[in-house]
Structure 1
Amino acid sequence: MSHIPPLDPNVAARKGFRESEERLKRFWKAVDVAEGQGGWTVQLDGRAPKTPAHAPLTLPTEAAARLVADEWAAQGEFIDPATMPATRLASTAIDRVSQAREAVADEIAAYAGSDAICYYADAPGSLVEMQARGWEPWREWADDVLGVKLDPATGVIHHAQDPAAIARVRELALELDDFTLTGLAMSVPLFGSAVLGLALQRGDLTGEAAFDLSRLDEHFQESQWGVDEENAARTALRRAEADILDRWFRALA
């Protein structure tokens, strides 16, 4: 996956934005956005900040630009990239996804070949029933709305899907602009599901709902054995990522 942008926002921060901005002191007072050629640009004291590749931080909608601008406005004495996920998404879209659209679409489509909502547990029956109730409507949605028909399977052994379905997911990904494609490239691995990622991107699922559907197995195990602090903290971080992506897609719509 070295040929495409990091899909984990934390990895993106370490490898991209953080390299150029870590411990940089805040150098601006006023934050705003301005419409110009090519979209809406974030303004720091009237000047546009740059991406790690030194491109202007310009986004396609005012709402998306304001989402990024709010992160800059919220910075304290030093810039903290960990608190700027929308800025990382925008920078990744501008610097990297725009240059690797085909590869990113390939990666997204590959998830359709082993989509998490297609793999049911062998047992117990209560978990299988929970999975069927949660996932079957979204496989039907994918078939009806997207033209992506995926077959369910039982167990963890790989079940090959129709190549036409995988090709259709790739086609859907390539129809998106760079910024939306970047959000999808982050969402799909977070959920382990191209279907849930596309449902979030299109506004048919919220980030919270998509995340909950992606972790039905974990939720069932927690209901049986409880939750430890380490897993709870990891889940909270992933849930926050899903919420960020939800706001990202809505701002781009």
Structure 2
Amino acid sequence: MTDEIRSPRESDSRRKRFWTNAEVIAGPHGFGVALDGKPVILPGRTPLHVSSKPLAEALAAEWQMAGADDPQKRFGPDALPLTRIAGTMIERVAPDRTHFIATLAAYGKHDLLCYRADDAEPAAALQNYAWQPWLDWLRERHGITLRVTAGMIPIEQSAEALVRLTDLLNSQSDATLAGLGVAVPASGSIVLGLAVAENALDATQAANIASVDERAQMQRWGEDPALLDRIAMMAADITDATRFMKLANNEFC
């Protein structure tokens, strides 16, 4: 997919910690984070600010911890997952919701849950058991029906379903869209992303459902460190996205 939404775990160069204290500051646009009194500025030169105080406190906490345990006081992007999602919300979602929503909605055309193994393959039963309930949830909850195919046969989703999916995304807050911008690419499924955003699934459940194929493969051939790492990264990304959305919605108050 062109212009794919980036995961917060894409590699960036490591940076050296230059501050002692990170704290929440109040301002005209909500709450920000200051490092030794100086506000954090995002890569696009926009101040880091959010409307939720619990989220701001979590942002300050991850800045306070970043590099603190490293002998050289260096840290990478994994140390600041909530800040990276907040940056997406502020510098990518808010300025152009239409483009961001279109990119997210495009996952509905090729959702993971819609592509099953042939019935004769061992994975087919596991996929049907794990995936079909969430396509049913999407239909019953939001009136959106996505078609399913088997094997390598591509399937075209109905225009109505894609329009409804876009309308549903349009109804979400910037914070939820930013969280979905992590959870959806990580899981390969707009359906699972929406279920997580609506608290119908937790992050661990979503990662387990999205990794049915990998786990079925290991069940047959034995554990694979590369697959285990992939599943762990997926689970971590979905966990970060879920935490961000909950904090942004003050669900941890």
Same fold (TM over 0.5): yes
State the SS of the aligned residue for 1:42. Answer: strand
1:37 maps onto 2:28 in alignment: yes
- Is the CA contact (8 Å cut-off) linking 2:204 and 2:239 kept in structure 1? yes
Could you tell me which residue of structure 2 aligns to residue 26 of structure 1? 18
- The amino acid that maps onto 1:25 is R
Could you tell me which residue of structure 2 aligns to residue 56 of structure 1? 47
Supply the RMSD in Å over aligned alpha carbons: 2.0
Could you tell me which residue of structure 2 aligns to residue 144 of structure 1? 140
How far residue 3 of structure 1 moved from its aligned partner, in angstroms, is: 5.3
**CA distance in 1: counterparts of 2:204 and 2:91, whole angstroms:** 28
Could you report, residue by residue, the CA deviation over 1:225-251 in whole angstroms, capped at 9, with x for unpaired residues? 112222222322222112111211211
Q: Which runs of 4+ in 1 moved over 3 A?
A: 1-4, 123-126
Alignment of 1:8-157 (within 5 A): 8-11=7-10, 14=12, 22-27=14-19, 29-75=20-66, 76=68, 77-124=73-120, 126-157=122-153
- State the number of aligned residues: 244
Q: Which runs of 5+ in 1 are unaligned?
A: none
**CA distance in 1: counterparts of 2:132 and 2:82, whole angstroms:** 32
Could you report, residue by residue, the CA deviation over 1:27-74 in whole angstroms, capped at 9, with x for unpaired residues? 2x3322233322221232333211112211101211221221111010
Could you report, residue by residue, the CA deviation over 1:144-184 in whole angstroms, capped at 9, with x for unpaired residues? 11221112221222111111111111122222222221111
Alignment of 1:210-249 (within 5 A): 210-249=206-245
- Is the CA contact (8 Å cut-off) linking 2:92 and 2:100 kept in structure 1? no
Could you report, residue by residue, the CA deviation over 1:107-136 in whole angstroms, capped at 9, with x for unpaired residues? 111111111111221044642222222112
Hey, which of these two has a bigger chunk of helix by percent?
1
**CA distance in 2: counterparts of 1:189 and 1:80, whole angstroms:** 21
State the SS of the aligned residue for 2:34. Answer: strand
- The amino acid that maps onto 1:45 is D
- The amino acid that maps onto 1:136 is Q
- The amino acid that maps onto 2:82 is A
Q: What's the TM-score once normalised by structure 1's chain length?
A: 0.88
- The amino acid that maps onto 2:149 is A
**CA distance in 2: counterparts of 1:226 and 1:211, whole angstroms:** 19
- Is the CA contact (8 Å cut-off) linking 1:26 and 1:79 kept in structure 2? no
- The amino acid that maps onto 2:118 is D
- Is the CA contact (8 Å cut-off) linking 2:214 and 2:227 kept in structure 1? no
- Is the CA contact (8 Å cut-off) linking 1:183 and 1:249 kept in structure 2? yes
**Which one is further off, 53-62 or 34-43?**
34-43
**CA distance in 2: counterparts of 1:79 and 1:119, whole angstroms:** 39
State the SS of the aligned residue for 2:94. Answer: helix
Could you report, residue by residue, the CA deviation over 1:77-125 in whole angstroms, capped at 9, with x for unpaired residues? 3343331111111112212222232111111111111111112210446
**CA distance in 2: counterparts of 1:57 and 1:50, whole angstroms:** 6
**CA distance in 2: counterparts of 1:89 and 1:159, whole angstroms:** 32
- Is the CA contact (8 Å cut-off) linking 2:25 and 2:33 kept in structure 1? yes
Q: What's the TM-score once normalised by structure 2's chain length?
A: 0.88
- The amino acid that maps onto 1:114 is H
Equivalent of residue 162 in structure 2, options 166, 173, 187: 166
**CA distance in 2: counterparts of 1:35 and 1:23, whole angstroms:** 26
- The amino acid that maps onto 1:195 is V
Could you tell me which residue of structure 2 aligns to residue 183 of structure 1? 179
**Which one is further off, 42-51 or 107-116?**
42-51
**CA distance in 1: counterparts of 2:209 and 2:2, whole angstroms:** 29
- Is the CA contact (8 Å cut-off) linking 2:3 and 2:103 kept in structure 1? no
